[in-house]
Amino acid sequence: MGLKSPEGPCVEPHPLCCEDVGIRSPRRGRNLSGRSDVASDTSSPPMTGRLLALVCLSVPLAAAQPTAPFPETSTNALLAEWTGPYGGVPAFDRMRVSDVEPAVEAGIAEHLAELDAIARNPAPATFDNTIVAMERAGQSLGRVFTYYGIWSSNLSTAEFRAVQQRLAPRLAAYQSAITQNADLFARVRTVYENRASLRSDQQRLTTLVYDGFARNGAALTGATAERYAAIQARLAELHTAFANRVLADEEGPVTYLTADQLDGLPASFVAGAAAEARGRAGAWAVTNTRSSVDPFLTFSTERDLREQVWRTFVSRGANGDENDTYALIAEILQLRDERVGLLGYPDYATWRLEDRMAQTPDRAMELMEAVWPAAVARVREEVADMQAVADAEGAGITIEPWDYRFYAEKVRAARYDLDSDEVRQYLQLDNLREAMFYVAGELFGFDFREITDGSVPVFHEDVRVWEVTRRGSGNHVGLWYLDPFARPGKRSGAWATSYRGHETYDGLQTVLASNNSNFVKPAPGQPVLVSLDDAETFFHEFGHALHSLSSNVAYPTLNGGVRDYTEFQSQLLERWLFTEPVVERFLRHAVTGEPMPDALIERIRRASTFNQGFATTEYLASALIDLKLHTLDDYTDLDPAAFERETLAALAMPSELVMRHRTSQFSHAFSGEGYSAGYYGYLWADVLTSDAAEAFAEAPGGYYDRDVAARLVEHLFAPRNAVDPAEAYRAFRGRDAGIAPLMRDRGFPVPGE
């Protein structure tokens, strides 16, 4: 347990982008005593409507001539309107990679033509004929990007990655053609300057669209505009190349174990690691992904192998070979700095944070620096405890990074009598899913019914689908897709995404939400038992899905989110995992069926802040490097590896651990722009999370208090991005959040107390 951060963007990034749909949070302690006591990014370019809600644009992209449409698209399944039940569903059973390029080209041509017609409209610009018309445009391309996202994250292949690389500059050119459409921007500006008479949600929508243009080069002209477009095109190529190189370094290396090298590993890990399917009978595979590496480092008694596995994992993107990412990173940083300089900003982070809750890099840095000393001090205590255990065993070692998880587990077991494998026996994946449904019913009034008649196509046999309805009325809310298991071609980590968002401006459109995980698929008939960390992650990602399903916004763009706010809702949902009703009904032993005993829950509660030094420090190290990399004065001859090394030394980073995401593999920062200069956002959102959790803890009904739950849904889930996040939180809590609950959650000293 403790502070955790996502392995990759948990709000699923898109070919252009970063919509508010999912990321794993850095995590803290939580209240385990039960009920009685206890985000599209607004700085994205001006893509509106379904495309902004689905695509969320990680980079402002720029102007080149679109290529000629492919000759035949009338039979292309990726462009076709969605048919079938529930307002139409994606035709996942008809996807072909060969259709991607012609579909994207046709969708681009259609969308640009629609926007050009809006720009050339002779009637005076109004909200309806400009902003709403832009919301309505681009539907075909939005559908294509849904399939694109599946191939990118769930079903990636060498064939698709080649397509991805070819399309990157074309998508950049397309986005720049929008951004630099002067006539279109002039109409948007007219509506923006006369927005006072609009409804509050319409004013916010207009502001988001205007900012999407103004902050992304719409006012540039001549050679400056051309340079901006060229930068955007090159960044699109670099982001895609970075993502593909990191994925290659995850898919390639495998450490194979023999039968005499399995000591200490849980039976569930051994079963899932069997390498027969890899053509290695009698061997077991540790793959180069966190879901495989972390449990191996935690339980394996083979210290030399732990070091080998650890070094392979932390060296992703940093091996001086064809998958090395350092040159890409240096160029990305230089180009980002040049681009925002064209807009008049002193550095990239200032541009990026301008319309986020933090507002300035200084405010984000102030929060991180307030927590860093306490986190590092706790690491030193944790290392001393681990070294004492190693010395008592006569291990004859000094704690190194590949020892941290292994000896932390020994300290946990000794201090709290808490065995991670014992806890795992009560965390069955199917039961956890039903627990999430229970919480969604109690707090949000949702019911879930699995669809098993084949009426909703899926893209893999492991994917399952549920209909979500409103409790009491039975009204249809949306669908929830679950893709739970790891497989080749699926990116690591866990994330959420939406295939369709809620809207009402052209009639009711319901939500298609999904969660994606990387649990090891069990043998037929065997339960999936997961770690406490993975159980929290499962709840976290479901929080993103509930955020989508709760939406009551009228316009597609308002389904987006502000990046340092959008993790708040998902982080908060983790708090319900150990509430009394969930424990009693769903946390039951895999063999006996008995609920988790009170004594074990108490041991978990007492250990809730255990290892917070490690968890907080590894996260903050990445967040600090991210922000510092994006506030440099000069990027000439930048060596990212040296910068990382020197900055961590200046921060007095403990040598016994490394960054959660080393620079060479930092996909949040360099596979797009959704989280660049924004990884601090998990901590920022967690300030809200800890404070909101105390609102429930103080309520008469605890975590199931109906009045607090109603305020939560009304102010913090349903409005999505139709309300400024700071205003929304004050409406829920009656005040701004402070840092004290966050520090208490982690067991750190509270400043001033």
Residue 513, pLDDT score: 98
Please compute the mean of the pLDDT values over residues 695-721 and round it to a whole number. Answer: 97
Q: Over 80: is that where the pLDDT of 470 sits?
A: yes
Q: Nearest CA to 495 among 28, 57, 92, 8? A: 8
Cβ proximity of 587 and 234 under 8 Å: no
- pLDDT attached to residue 15: 39
Q: Calculate mean pLDDT across residues 4-27.
A: 39
Residue 501 amino acid letter: G
Cα radius of gyration rounded to whole Å, the chain: 25
Determine the angle formed by the axes of helices 401-416 and 303-314, rounding to 10 degrees.
Answer: 120
The string over 674-688, giving b where at least 16 C-beta atoms fall within 10 Å of a residue's C-beta and e elsewhere, is: bbbbbbbbbbbbbbb
Instruction: Give me the mean pLDDT over the 568-586 stretch.
Output: 96
Query: Which pLDDT does position 649 carry in this prediction?
Result: 98
Alpha-carbon span 728 to 436, nearest angstrom: 25
pLDDT band, very low/low/confident/very high, at 608 (cuts 50, 70, 90) = confident
Question: CB atoms < 10 A from the CB of 532, how many?
Answer: 19
Residue 676 has pLDDT above 90, yes or no: yes
Give the other-Cβ count within 10 Å of 183's Cβ. 13
pLDDT average, residue stretch 366-388: 96
d(CA 285, CA 295): 13
Q: What's the confidence (pLDDT) of residue 563?
A: 86
Average pLDDT in the chain = 90
φ and ψ of 333, to 5 deg: -65, -40
- Averaged over 197-207, what is the pLDDT? 98
Separation of alpha carbons 574 and 542, rounded Å: 9
pLDDT at residue number 50: 47
If one counts every other C-beta atom within 10 angstroms of the C-beta of residue 533, the result is: 18
Mean per-residue pLDDT, 713-734: 96
Helix (H) or strand (E) holding 336: helix 326-342
User: Across residues 603-621, what is the average pLDDT?
Assistant: 93
Q: What percent of the chain has a predicted confidence (pLDDT) above 70?
A: 90
Residue 288, pLDDT score = 93
* C-alpha to C-alpha distance for 618 and 6, rounded to whole angstroms: 12
DSSP character at residue 523:
P
Amino acid identity of residue 669, one-letter, is: A
- Res 9: pLDDT: 52
Q: How far apart are CA 721 and CA 725, in angstroms?
A: 7
Three-state SS at 82: coil
pLDDT value for 75: 87
Predicted pLDDT of residue 404:
97
Asked if residue 10 has pLDDT above 90, the reply is no
Give the mean model confidence (pLDDT) for residues 516-535.
91
User: At residue 20, does pLDDT exceed 80?
Assistant: no
Band the pLDDT of 679: cuts 50, 70, 90. very high
Both structure tokens of 538: 């499962």
Quick check: 43 and 560 in contact, CB under 8 A?
no
Helix, strand, or coil (residue 88): coil
Rounded mean pLDDT of 176-202?
A: 96
Examine the pLDDT at 47 and tell me if it is beyond 90.
Answer: no
In this prediction, residue 569 carries a pLDDT of: 95
Lowest-confidence segment of 27-31, 239-243, 523-527, 697-701 by average pLDDT: 27-31
Is residue 163 within 8 Å of 70, Cβ to Cβ? no
pLDDT for 491 equals 87
Q: Give the model's confidence band at 445: pLDDT under 50 very low, under 70 low, under 90 confident, else very high.
A: very high
Task: Kindly report, residue by residue over 689-701, the tens digit of the pLDDT.
Answer: 999 999 999 999 9
pLDDT for 72: 53
Greatest CA separation for the chain: 84
Which range is least confidently modeled, 56-65, 351-360, 526-535, 621-630? 56-65
Confidence at residue 73, expressed as pLDDT on a 0 to 100 scale: 63
How much is the average pLDDT of 645-668?
97
Which one of the listed residues 541, 580, 618, 694 is annotated catalytic? Answer: 541
pLDDT at residue 259, rounded to an integer = 97
Mark whether 541 is an active-site residue: yes
Model pLDDT for residues 138-186, shown as the tens digit of each residue: 999 999 999 999 999 999 999 999 999 899 889 989 988 999 899 999 9
Nearest Cα neighbor of 555 from 711, 731, 719 is 719
Q: Is 497 exposed, middle or buried (0-12, 13-18, 19+ CB in 10 A)?
A: buried
Q: What is the pTM of this model?
A: 0.84
